[in-house]
Amino acid sequence: MRVLGISAFYHDSAAALVEDGRVAAAAQEERFSRLKHDSGFPSHAVAYCLATAGGPPDAVVFYEKPLRKFERILTTAFATAPSGFRAFATALPSWLRHKLWIPYQIEQALRRGGFDAGGRIFFTTHHEAHAASAFLPSPFARAAILTLDGVGEWTTAALGRGRDGQVELIRELRFPHSLGLLYSAFTYFCGFRVNSGEYKLMGLAPFGTPRFSDLILERLVDLRADGSFRLHLDYFDYLRGTRMTNGRFARLFGGPPRPPEAAITQRECDLARSIQAVTEEIVLRMARTLHRETGEENLCLAGGVALNCVANGRLLREGPFARVWVQPAAGDAGGALGAALAFASRDGTAPPKDGIHDAMRGALLGPAYPDDIIAATLAARGIPAEHLASPAAVAHRVAARVAGGAVVGVLQGRAEFGPRALGSRSILADARRPEMQRVLNQKVKFRESFRPFAPVVLADRAQDYFDLAAPSPYMLFTAPVRQEHRRPAAGPAAAAFPDCIHEIRSDIPAVTHVDYSARVQTVTEADQPFLHAVLAEFDRLTGCPVMINTSFNVRGEPPVGHPREALEGFLRTGMDALAMGSFFVDKTSLGSSALPAAGQPAFAPD
């Protein structure tokens, strides 16, 4: 059986293909359209999945029920009338143009791929899709399931269990009471973009103190012992308007929202730390309730909130479950995969379980490009490149250049599915160099200086550097840097933001955050042979098995997909070298004529 799953029309649209219960392909539309968090119908991603399939799909499954979601929009508009009319009027055109015509759009996309839908279009609910994406590809034969996000149709959080290849949801929290929307409200108030800036808020939190946590729990959130809660909606504007918060919220926290791109103050740092602390407490309480009610020892997580790797790390260290597995595409993109898996599991077709390995294939589910395409891309731009004899030779060259201080872009094999670069569309650099965080942020990524970089480490050496309780192949858990690798702060003990950003805190300063934490990726040879070879050679050369791994993109752009985008990004940023397939390009070998004029965009769509 071939099942095509689709998610669309909110953010991070995607398509996924499941064949006989096996995850075969998955990709986000943004990787083709070059529109970050693209919410449109994923025509390119669907075409990619259909081209990968061995034949026409037996079923196409959409990741939520649009009519039920439209019911929520209408109900909310009537309940908040007349003040809610503005929000309803803003949403209505999109529903009339796109969201009420999803079956037609699916049929059109299939016809463009040479297939006939034939009435085989189905729908699952949003949190059923999240739950299926969490449990069915996990290593566990049975587990508790927790899904958390902004909102699906009505559900904002769901507690459930998985066993015998089936998913059951047993409790839920309903709109408008939502942990995802609460976190997004603070994202908006601190001057970041909702649905894309939440990870910035998480990265800002360690620079602050949780001085507003009690105020949040006293005035904004009525939190119960079991983790359920109600929001005091008088402080929020998302029911009635087009903003997340209102004037009452601003007065509570000492002034208006921070304008985007304005200087970040200590208030924003403290707000970020405070809402992060509240979020972690809610997640821990829900997890304890779920453990008590299901008796399961394993936990699977999905939904946008499950991308909060700080909360995940605390749940792994302090929570009641023996093991925790997080869907690497936990947000809406993963809903496409969950929809396909949920449908396939109805007849008992589900990924096999061995208790150790998951079915995500390292999340390397996107397109790959052979050497002939890479060679043609280089030739079209007149870029000289060295053709190396083997993947091992490429890996050794990358490791040697990184050990020498270079920043190296990598495009190897299939692209990652989900928001994290895992070694296929990555930028690699030396974590030991104190200046490397500044170099990457200012000359390569062009992003905010406070944002930390993630370490990638050989799995069998991870415990030498991090207090990590379990493998972290998808970069979804933070862990403390071990005490023996830490260094005391050189400046004042309580240096304020932003003076403390570039302090040297460990032997791997470029990946050590201000609180001595790191968002760790562990690598095995079985799951990531190329990246493992790079790290092993780097370890041989330097005695250190840790590198920086960050996504191959610049601020405001999705990660690169095609070799053309990788090459243009390399040429237009401060990267020193590029490894694509068997080809290696060193910028020192290029003349000035090969480099684009300053001010051109880094990555341009077709």
Quickly tell me which residue has 């089936």 as its tokens.
166
In SS3 terms, 220-287 reads as: HEEECCCCCEEECHHHECCCCCCCCECHHHHHHCCCCCCCCCCCCCHHHHHHHHHHHHHHHHHHHHHH
Question: For 403-434, what is each residue's pLDDT tens digit?
Answer: 999 999 999 999 999 999 999 999 999 999 99
Of the two residues 450 and 9, the one the predictor is more confident about is 9
pLDDT value, residue 597: 53
Question: For 460-481, what is each residue's pLDDT tens digit?
Answer: 999 999 999 899 999 999 999 9
Pair 440, 571: CB distance under 8 Å? no
Q: What is the pTM of this model?
A: 0.94
User: Mind giving me the DSSP string for 542-563?
Assistant: HS--EEEEEES--TTSPPP-SH
Set 11, 126, 177, 562: catalytic member: 11
Pair 408, 579: CB distance under 8 Å? yes
Residue 601, pLDDT above cutoff 50: no
pLDDT value, residue 594: 63
Catalytic residue check, 11: yes
* Number of residues written out for the chain: 606
Residue extents of the structural domains in the chain: 371-487+502-594
**CA separation for the pair 154, 210 (Å, rounded):** 31
**371-487+502-594: which CATH number, 3.40.1360.10, 3.40.50.2000, 3.90.870.20, 3.10.105.10?**
3.90.870.20
**CA separation for the pair 264, 498 (Å, rounded):** 8
**CA separation for the pair 597, 606 (Å, rounded):** 19
Of the two residues 551 and 242, the one the predictor is more confident about is 551
**CA separation for the pair 87, 344 (Å, rounded):** 37
Question: For 311-351, what is each residue's pLDDT tens digit?
Answer: 999 999 999 999 999 999 999 999 999 999 999 998 777 77
**Residue 532 phi/psi, 5° resolution?**
-60, -40
Question: For 271-322, what is each residue's pLDDT tens digit?
Answer: 999 999 999 999 999 999 999 999 999 999 999 999 999 999 999 999 999 9
